[in-house]
Structure 1
Amino acid sequence: MFQKVIHQLENSQSTLYSEESCRIFLMQAYQELTLMRIKYSQNQVISEQISEILDRFFAVEEDALEAYDNIHHLVYRDVRDEVQTLIDFIKSKDIQLV
């Protein structure tokens, strides 16, 4: 269910050193999550999962944007690890809709 979001996050992770590209992929992931929240707003379980993912997403996005203010590559590595943790979290929540 979250394949598009995961794909966009993986793209953002691989373009972390390119601020513009990374931001575009983060925005696309956010848009996809927002559309899913609207689409599944009547389904309590899915809606709660999406809200939980969005909360974590905002924290990662904030850290990624702050990384661009810091010239140390260690910060980028930390953000890359955070994005991977978010991807793993989303995969653990991923359910298939029939």
Structure 2
Amino acid sequence: MPTEPCPNAEFHGKPHRYCQYCDWMEAPAAQMPSVGRVVFVGCDPAYNNGSKIAPAVITRVWSDVCINARVLPDCAGPSEQRTSITHVDTVDDLEGDDLNRTYRWTWPPRV
């Protein structure tokens, strides 16, 4: 890493998020829930083709951490509405007992 000031500092974040010269990187903006966005929810693997995690579409936003969502399981059955489910930080937090899995959601990983 260079010791002198970065000659590109005035352009950091405009429009790039990374500077090869000084290794500066802009932190991604925090995601905020809104109607229509996709999140991950925990679910019973017996009703989701063996997976403990299913996608869900946000149908109502109560706060930055509390939403209603329509679960889209990987099966031929009907979708399920979940109300007042709360945010957890990682997909790993969705694993656990049935009650904890059912009432939690998280963002899919950024790609």
Q: Shorter-normalised TM-score: what interval?
A: under 0.3
Larger-Rg structure: 2
TM-score, structure 2 as length reference? 0.23
